[in-house]
Structure 1
Amino acid sequence: MVDGSFAERIEHALREHAARGRTALVGEFGRVSYRDLADRAASAAATIHGWRLPPGSTLGIAAAKNPDAVAAFLGALRAGVCACFLEPRLSLDATTARIEEFGIARVVTGGGDFHVPQHTTQPIASLFPSTPSPHSEPLRWPGDDDHAVMLFTSGSTGRPKAIKLTHANLRCNAEGVLERTGITPDDVLLHIMPVHHTNGVNNQLIAPLLAGATVALVERFDASALESQLARYEPTIVTGVPTMYLRALDHLGPGYRRRRLRFLRCGSAPITPVQQQRIESAFGVPLVLSYGLSEATCTSTMNPPGARRVGSVGTVLNGQSVGIFAPGGAERVGAGEEGEVRIAGPALMEGYVGGEDSPIEDGWLRTGDLGRLDADGYLTITGRIKDVIIRGGENIAPGAIESVLARHSGVAQCAVVGVEHPDLGQVPRAYVVPASASSPPDEAEIRDYLRAELSRPYVPDRVHYLEDLPVNRVGKIDRNVLRELGRNGGGRA
């Protein structure tokens, strides 16, 4: 392990893997060696340094998911500026608002579906001149407290919040993930998530490149193409969100075989035990659930790949702490008791950019998630505090209904939200993607099925059928859309 800054450790790792002749990136563009990636990153760092941006500046990256974008990101880390992968397919007004509000000094562009104001942009190719210009002032190594990455915590709906993570934050997350997953130079990671998402950059670029693994870059997730990508790149690890895997199930052929796949990783959104078992059965490998927030860099708990527990998001990663507290209080609850999940340790952000109220109190990040820790330290997420349905004064967790509903043979996917009721305040309402679109289960049958296992307040007032559950830009179920459907009384997305 290299002493010094985290940026120095990354550069040393790139050069070490280059010396061993390893492949860093593969994709439609071909193969890129660690030597080539290291050289491109060094060129980008020198060019960015030559721009003499003010200290603490943020560089936006609005480019296709390819080697140039990865090298630009690594170059920004080395040059000591804060890198920010911008979100594709946003309107020009939305992107401009983010650039102005959160102080993005310059944007490099190259391919992809981006709408960026021209006066802020620089072609990404300019980071890699054929004849680099010498600079008399050498690059300094960024310190642990220097900002490294800026992330946005919400998509195109609602007002986004921005987080700046330090080099120390990235170090804590990467070391915990590497220790838990055991990634080696023999691994190939299939990168199907967006790079503007914290998992896409922290766990699927930084961690595997430190380890010397190969990253197979896929521009956008396509459920129908996943099987062919598994065959082409023969990954050992795939990381995604539940919706990605569930949508891929219909496209896995009867002759699918696992090849080199060791395990699938899954995070960022809830998944029921039934869904987990369906995915594991189809792919033939364990589905390793993890949990974390952008405000804590990325991942705080993860199942050990060789000792995963169905339904749990695993145990705490090295360097971090997770506690269960009475909601709204300062007291920790006992093992097996439900409460608010809170996170502490060096992975925590300092706060939101622009002075938004911070959810960190007394060194603990209040996640807003409900969960419980068992006696062995395995965490289970049971719901969101804000998603709790208060029916006639009784608190109902949607996850408790979803976990039963998902076991019905006629249900492929499901989600439950609270809708307004004139007498009870709120009642649960279920949205179901049927296993067979031509013969969905009868609504009365679904309600009877739930009534056999749950008490009456937990039985939804209605069951609506959808072709697909609505999702946001990173594949999470968009419960706000379902609540809006509930307010409108309809069952169509």
Structure 2
Amino acid sequence: MLDRLTHALRTHHPDRPAVLHHTRTGTTRTRIRRGDLADLADGYAAALHARRLTPGATLGLALRPGPRALAALLAAHRLGLRTAVLDPTVGPDVLAAHLALAQPALILADATAQAAAGWAAPLARRADLRLPPLRTLGPVATLGPRLPGCAPRLRPATTPAPAHRPDPDTDAVIVFTSGTTARPRAVVHTHASLTAALHTVTELVRPRPDSTVLGGTFFVLAPALAAGATVALPARTPTALARQLTRLTPAHTYLTPPQLRAALAAGAHLTGTLWTGSAPADATLLRRAKTAGAHQAWSVYALTELFPAAAVEEADKSAHTGDGDLVGHPLPGIRTRLADDGELHLTGPGARHRYLGREPDPWIRTGDRATLTPDGRIVLAGRLKDMVLRGARNIYPGLYEPALHIPGVELALLVGVPDGHGDERLVALVQPAAGTDPHILRTRLDAPLQRMGAARPDALLFGTVPLTGRSRKPDRAAASAHCARELTR
């Protein structure tokens, strides 16, 4: 698929726009043309080759989605490198653990991410962006414009780099998902599984040549550009996004449920097919999308380990009157099974190969309880895992709860509380140790809460953490219910 993408960029109208962006003044401009994107990928490949990155080496990417990030991924593919996707918003301790596990030979970071580790750290904290000091990241190069204090730029080179055709079973990309700071969990996709996932998206969506697609993720950019479409990156504010949708009339629009809700509230008019995922999307939201003009509105069930797994259109989702959340038929090649406790297991050609540092396992434990209808459709019945889903971000309490156990804290949990719109609020429930002044403890907790970055809780409550079972483990369900009651008082 990535080879086909590079070829398509050069041969299918290379002078046409590849990526559009919405400016602050409300106009849409070409970010980069198709042929220029292919040249940029070749230039990055040559520059990385000049730095002696050899096949199998790990390249870390701390970049915002967009053409430079895509060009870097294409360059890594050309050289046979393994790419580790790094998220600067997870907080400095978690990011340091991710880097220790992936051990990248080089990190490509944009100026914004680097500034957040240095002179702009006070401003970055307001945006939940926290990084360790730059010197602790390892070898770093700046991709794109450079700001003072940033590492030297990786300038595209002109000497052609030798193409390396990787074995389909070798590692292509690492994406961190969960685990603990001491033992991070990272999904490893091979070239074969990544290609299979991209083909599944292409067959599901079927982007048309010379059409416009709105979306910003890799699984939007790569299939759409390979098909000859132009991709528009979503505007950042709801009002600008609503104007952008009206002006572009995209054939396909990819938005997370929070983005979609905000755009609809701003009066967005939709066209073509609407796709939403990364967080629950109920039938009501899909119906609102069709009322706003979408011809079809699809909810996609996907995991980092298997993208995408299932999809359902609004009409089928609305027709489901049973318990649970209908997420649709498994997509071609996806197989399902249910464990004894009702957990949904999935496998297929696009399934991750393994978790980094662990043995391969073809079956993915989703952490979701589910049932299967007689015709094989998947109906979710709640999560078994502790993961909290806020907005479109998966937050794993095990990563952050240890930081809350400071002197004066007896027990602490992070739990999700439903907000009534299909989303969750993240709440820290802290049980003070006997004799501890809660007012003093609240002040002491400011620092660890700030270090959580984008996982910072929406609310901090003091109270007794419920316990359950013979071993008296913390009862997360009871804690969530307790927090929900407290927040409504």
Whether the TM-score (by the shorter chain) exceeds 0.5 is: yes
1:291-321, Cα deviation, whole Å (9 max, x unpaired): 121112x10212369x754363232222x22
Which residue in 1 is equivalent to 2:222? Answer: 206
Which residue in 2 is equivalent to 1:352? Answer: 355
Which residue in 1 is equivalent to 2:5? Answer: 10
Supply the AA of the counterpart residue of 1:185.
P
Matches within 5 A, 1:295-374: 295-296=305-306, 298-303=307-312, 308-310=316-318, 312-318=326-332, 320-328=333-341, 339-355=342-358, 360=361, 363-374=362-373
In 2, distance between residues paired with 1:101 and 1:278?
43
Does residue 162 of structure 1 match 2:186?
yes
8 Å Cα contact 1:90-1:156 kept in structure 2: no
1:176 Cα deviation from its structure 2 partner = 1.3
In 2, distance between residues paired with 1:186 and 1:304?
25
Secondary structure of the residue aligned to 1:168 is helix
Supply the AA of the counterpart residue of 1:317.
L
> Judging changes above 3 Å, is the alpha-carbon distance between structure 1 residues 26 and 275 closer, same or farther for their aligned structure 2 residues?
closer
Secondary structure of the residue aligned to 2:308 is coil
1:205-238, Cα deviation, whole Å (9 max, x unpaired): 22212212111124x7433432022134332222
8 Å Cα contact 1:162-1:352 kept in structure 2: yes
Does residue 490 of structure 1 match 2:486?
yes
Does residue 229 of structure 1 match 2:228?
no
Which residue in 1 is equivalent to 2:72? Answer: 72
8 Å Cα contact 1:324-1:371 kept in structure 2: no
Supply the AA of the counterpart residue of 2:100.
E
> Judging changes above 3 Å, is the alpha-carbon distance between structure 1 residues 92 and 364 closer, same or farther for their aligned structure 2 residues?
closer
Which residue in 2 is equivalent to 1:265? Answer: 275
Secondary structure of the residue aligned to 1:184 is coil
Does residue 122 of structure 1 match 2:127?
no
> Judging changes above 3 Å, is the alpha-carbon distance between structure 1 residues 387 and 81 closer, same or farther for their aligned structure 2 residues?
closer
> Judging changes above 3 Å, is the alpha-carbon distance between structure 1 residues 12 and 430 closer, same or farther for their aligned structure 2 residues?
closer
Which residue in 1 is equivalent to 2:257? Answer: 242
Give identity over the alignment, percent.
Answer: 30
Q: Please point out which of 152, 171, 189 is paired with 2:213.
A: 189
Matches within 5 A, 1:266-305: 266-296=276-306, 298-303=307-312
> Greater CA deviation, 177-186 or 146-155?
146-155
1:28-87, Cα deviation, whole Å (9 max, x unpaired): 463422111111111111222222225422212223444222211221121111223322
Secondary structure of the residue aligned to 2:367 is strand
Supply the AA of the counterpart residue of 1:490.
E
> Judging changes above 3 Å, is the alpha-carbon distance between structure 1 residues 377 and 91 closer, same or farther for their aligned structure 2 residues?
closer
1:485 Cα deviation from its structure 2 partner = 7.7
In 1, distance between residues paired with 2:477 and 2:253?
28
Root-mean-square deviation over aligned CA pairs: 3.9
Taking CA–CA contacts closer than 8 Å with sequence separation of 6 or more, which of the two structures ends up with the larger relative contact order? 2
8 Å Cα contact 2:54-2:80 kept in structure 1: no
Supply the AA of the counterpart residue of 1:82.
R
8 Å Cα contact 1:180-1:304 kept in structure 2: no
In 2, distance between residues paired with 1:380 and 1:51?
49
1:173 Cα deviation from its structure 2 partner = 0.9
In 2, distance between residues paired with 1:387 and 1:285?
36
In 2, distance between residues paired with 1:341 and 1:95?
30
> Judging changes above 3 Å, is the alpha-carbon distance between structure 1 residues 159 and 489 closer, same or farther for their aligned structure 2 residues?
farther
1:375 Cα deviation from its structure 2 partner = 3.8
1:159 Cα deviation from its structure 2 partner = 6.4
8 Å Cα contact 1:62-1:108 kept in structure 2: yes
Secondary structure of the residue aligned to 1:122 is strand
In 2, distance between residues paired with 1:366 and 1:386?
10
> Greater CA deviation, 167-176 or 21-30?
21-30
Superposition TM-score, scaled by structure 1 size: 0.66
Secondary structure of the residue aligned to 1:104 is coil
Secondary structure of the residue aligned to 1:303 is strand
| Structure 1, unaligned runs of 5 or more | 1-5, 193-199, 329-338, 389-427, 435-471
In 2, distance between residues paired with 1:187 and 1:156?
43
1:489 Cα deviation from its structure 2 partner = 5.6
Does residue 179 of structure 1 match 2:182?
no
8 Å Cα contact 1:191-1:216 kept in structure 2: yes
Which residue in 2 is equivalent to 1:453? Answer: none
8 Å Cα contact 2:9-2:34 kept in structure 1: yes
In 1, distance between residues paired with 2:303 and 2:485?
33
1:412-432, Cα deviation, whole Å (9 max, x unpaired): xxxxxxxxxxxxxxxx99754
Matches within 5 A, 1:85-104: 85-104=85-104
Which residue in 2 is equivalent to 1:385? Answer: 384
Q: Please point out which of 155, 159, 172 is paired with 1:133.
A: 159
Supply the AA of the counterpart residue of 1:245.
L
1:223-276, Cα deviation, whole Å (9 max, x unpaired): 343202213433222223322222333221xxx543xx2111122222333333
In 2, distance between residues paired with 1:492 and 1:248?
27
8 Å Cα contact 1:485-1:491 kept in structure 2: no
1:172-206, Cα deviation, whole Å (9 max, x unpaired): 111111111111123322225xxxxxxx22x2122
1:114-133, Cα deviation, whole Å (9 max, x unpaired): 5362442012254443x523
Matches within 5 A, 1:434-445: none
Which residue in 2 is equivalent to 1:335? Answer: none
In 1, distance between residues paired with 2:176 and 2:169?
20
8 Å Cα contact 2:111-2:142 kept in structure 1: no
Secondary structure of the residue aligned to 1:47 is helix
Which residue in 2 is equivalent to 1:30? Answer: 30
> Judging changes above 3 Å, is the alpha-carbon distance between structure 1 residues 151 and 87 closer, same or farther for their aligned structure 2 residues?
same
Superposition TM-score, scaled by structure 2 size: 0.67
1:326 Cα deviation from its structure 2 partner = 4.1
> Greater CA deviation, 162-171 or 365-374?
365-374
Matches within 5 A, 1:106-121: 106-114=106-114, 115=117, 117-118=134-135, 119-121=138-140
8 Å Cα contact 2:300-2:327 kept in structure 1: yes
